[in-house]
Structure formats: C-alpha cells, structure tokens
A = this chain, B = another copy of it.
Amino acid sequence: MDGRDWGKFLLPYQQAVEELKIKFKSLRKELKARDEYAPIEFVTGRVKRISSILEKARRLNVPLDRIETGIEDIAGIRIMCQFVDDIRKVAEMIRQRKDMMLVYEKDYVTNYKDSGYRSHHLIVEYPVQTSLGSMPVLAEIQIRTLAMNFWATIEHSLNYKYKEQLPPHVRERLRAAAEAASLLDTEMSSIRQEIVDAQQEFEESAGT
C-alpha cells in the first residue's frame, strides 16, 4: 500500500463507532424509562473494511492521504425506526446534540435513489479521545425504517454478488421489492396515526 499502518489508522473510527452505538442505545433506553415514545427501534454500527475504503477511494478519486476527510462513512452507525415519521425525529435529536457536530445531510427518504434505496443520512464530526490526544473523526449516521433496512440489506448482498453490475431483471425485481417495502411502510404509518389519535382522544376526554 502506501506504507500506512491501516490497523492503527482505523483505531479512532472503532472508538467512535463503539461510543456512538452506546449513546444512541442509551437514548432509546432513556426515552422508554421516561415513558416517552422512543423513535429508535435498534442501533447497529460497523467500521468500513480496508478493502472497501480503498475501492471507494479509487472510485471517488480520493488521494490516500485525504481519506480522513474524503471518505465520510469509515465510521458508520445505523438507526432503525418503526415508522417513517420517526426518521425526522431522530434526525432532529441528532442536530440538537452537543457531543457531535452535523456536517451535512442527505435525505434519500423524500428523494429516493433510482435503485429504490431510501434512508436519511447525516454526516457528523465526532471528537474521540485517543492516547495521542483529542481527534475529530467523520461518521455517517443512517436512519431508516425496518422495511427500508430489510430492502437495503438484500440490495447490498446482491450488489456484492454481482459486483455492482445487476442484471436488468434483478434490478427490476429489486425495484418491485422497494415498492413493496414502501407500501408496507405506508400501511404501518396509517396505523401509527391510529395510535397517536387514540392517545390524543384519551387525553382530551381526560382533560374535560
């Protein structure tokens, strides 16, 4: 490679992923303990594999000495929600936090990709304390419903198998599946309103 010790390079990213996972899991626990609605269903995280970092650097023409700023998803957090509306709530909670700084957002929920991909992405800067001092790292936080996540998992494994060259009929079926996932989310959303309405009624009747 370029003589870089990749194992050591990834250390602050691993730290960031561990800390961010704990923080968003705590947020869920905290809201539940406060008897409030928790828009977070579960949280996962991963550090990008070195081979994938190098491939992405090549594809995006990022010089190897600019990887820290040029590739934004070396540290990746995924937050799964039950309902589409929960996504913007979680995004807003992240914007309010004092322990990370929002760099920019990509709303692939409203503007979904041609492939059918839907998710809300936030790129944040998060300071980790290493044995060499404080160090800011970029992390990508993806927020999606369970159905969006389900679809994205399948798409990822198909892209991996077909090396990003999906045959047309597979691409077609994936798009149909994305529609089905979206339909499921719409049906679920209609029930969400049901829950909120029911609670609203209850509180109003209790208020008189």
Q: Which residues of A contact B (CB under 8 A)?
A: 7-8, 11, 14-15, 18-19, 22-23, 26-27, 29-31, 33-34, 36, 82, 93, 96-99, 127, 129-131, 133-134, 146-147, 150, 153-154, 157-158, 161-162, 169-170, 173-174, 176-177, 180-181, 183-184, 186-188, 190-191, 194-195, 198
Kindly state the separation between the CA atoms of A133 and B188 in the bound complex, as whole angstroms. 30
Give the residues in chain B near A161, CB-CB below 8 Å: 195, 198
Which residue of chain B lies nearest to A190 when distances are taken between CB atoms in the complex?
B173
CA distance A99 to B19 in the complex (A): 12
Q: Which of B34, B130, B150, B157 contacts A11 (CB 8 A)?
A: B34
* Contact assessment for B19 and A131 in the assembled complex, using a CB-CB cutoff below 8 Å: no
In the assembly, what is the distance between CA of A97 and CA of B131, in Å? 9
Chain A facing B: main interface SS? helix
Q: Cβ of A93: which chain B residues have Cβ within 8 Å of it? A: 131
CA distance A68 to B170 in the complex (A): 46
- Chain B residues with Cβ below 8 Å from A198 are 161-162
The answer to whether residues A150 and B184 also contact, given A173-B190, A174-B191 and a CB cut-off of 8 A, is: yes
Contact B129 A23 (CB under 8 A): yes
- Closest Cβ of chain B to A28, distance in Å, is 10
Q: Which residue of B lies closest to A99 (CB)?
A: B129
Residues in B with CB closer than 8 Å to A129 are: 23, 27, 97-99
